[in-house]
Amino acid sequence: MNPAVTLPDYGAPAALKPTRLLTPEQIAFYHEHGYLSIDSLMPAADVAEVRKIYDRLFNEDSQRADGDLYDLTGAREAGKKISIPQILNPAKYAPELLATQMVANLKAMMKQLHGPETKMVGDHAINKPPHNAAPTPWHQDEAYWDPAKEYSSLSVWIPLQPATKQNGCMYFVPGSHKLDIVPHRPIGDNPLTPGLEVEPGAFDFSSAVACELPPGGATFHHGRTLHYTPPNNSEDYRRAYIAMGSAYERKLATPRRFPWKERQAAARAQHPSIKPAN
Ligand SMILES: O=C(O)CCC(=O)C(=O)O
């Protein structure tokens, strides 16, 4: 077996002790279905604290300098109107996020799900504007990553207001974490978009389940679980904070190829002004 890659832990060890943990039944559900939905990851007061930081970040320009604020569905071109604003690494701009009860709780839950060696390795924030017609299309997170490696990874998705079918809650295909990576393509078949979607017709999503949540609830999903969110058809922003966790990454003995990533890289090479996706 190839040695595991050493992963950096995201932020300092949480100063706070976790105040919520998953039950054995919830852990078993995650392993069977590849996702889990819980009504409360943190108390309401913490939701208000995180939401204040979140809204400040989306109103600041600091993250633009590094290109960390960009459109999930469109090419990363300066001055272009953003349809689904996303901030990569929000904790880089607001390190106080890492000192919240939210992060203490989610780190402890990640370890319960993928083992004690699991670290938080990154975060992002997707803030869908009111009456925004863009879904986050069906995808598996691993389709974005280096195909030469295998992963034990998961994400925690936390809404900062109610998440509903109307404003864009998470949908999952139960059991899809046991599949290989299904064929993907850049969103809208435009290789200059940083986002990916499952190739139309490559999968039947009729077994998908919607996970509506109160503010401060959470869904967890495995790096291979197929997931999607619908457009935001509400009057308010649909704010979600997302943390990524990983127990290990290992070089595969026989590397795979993800042609969709090769297309994106080739298109970007022709357009050096466009920033690469993460
Ligand atoms: O919030 C969204 O619209 C999508 C989130 C997502 O795809 C993820 O957390 O992996």
CATH number of residue 93's parent domain = 2.60.120.620
Domain range for residue 76? Answer: 24-270
State the distance from the centre of ligand 1 to the C-alpha of 138, rounded, in angstroms: 10
Using CA atoms, how far residue 62 sits from 50, 77, 93, 140, 183, in Å, is 18, 17, 8, 30, 36
- pLDDT at position 16 is 86
What's the pLDDT tens digit per position in 45-91?
999 999 999 999 998 765 555 556 656 655 555 455 566 788 988 99
Backbone angles phi, psi at 252, to 5 degrees: -80, 145
Tell me the residue type at 249: E
Query: For 138-143, what is the mean pLDDT?
Result: 98
Residue recorded with tokens 């308010």: 236
Residue 2 banded pLDDT, cuts 50, 70, 90: very low
Question: Does any domain span residue 228?
Answer: yes
State the distance from the centre of ligand 1 to the C-alpha of 271, rounded, in angstroms: 27
What's the pLDDT tens digit per position in 207-225?
999 999 999 999 999 999 9
Residue recorded with tokens 């595991």: 4
Question: Is the pLDDT reported for residue 126 higher than 80?
Answer: yes
- Determine the Cα–Cα distance for residues 14 and 28; give it in Å rounded to an integer: 26
Question: What is the full DSSP assignment across 72-133?
Answer: TTS---TTPPPSSEEEE-HHHH-GGGGGSHHHHHHHHHHHHHH-TT-EEEEEEEEEEPTTB-
- pLDDT at position 59 is 86
State the distance from the centre of ligand 1 to the C-alpha of 143, rounded, in angstroms: 14
Query: For 245-273, what is the mean pLDDT?
Result: 92
Can you tell me which atom of ligand 1 is nearest the CA of 141? 10
Question: Is the pLDDT reported for residue 1 higher than 50?
Answer: no
Question: Does any domain span residue 3?
Answer: no
Question: What residues does ligand 1 touch, defined as CB less than 6 Å away?
Answer: 126, 136, 141, 155, 157, 168, 227, 229, 240, 242
| Residue 130: how many other CB atoms lie within 10 Å | 12
What's the pLDDT tens digit per position in 142-162?
999 999 999 999 999 999 999
Question: Is the pLDDT reported for residue 26 higher than 80?
Answer: yes
**Considering the chain, what percentage of its residues have pLDDT values greater than 90?**
74
Count structural domains, the chain: 1
Can you tell me which atom of ligand 1 is nearest the CA of 227? 7
The tokens describing 260, both together, are 């969709």
Is the Cβ–Cβ distance between 240 and 146 less than 8 Å?
Answer: no
- pLDDT at position 13 is 55
Query: For 21-45, what is the mean pLDDT?
Result: 97
**Considering the chain, what percentage of its residues have pLDDT values greater than 70?**
84
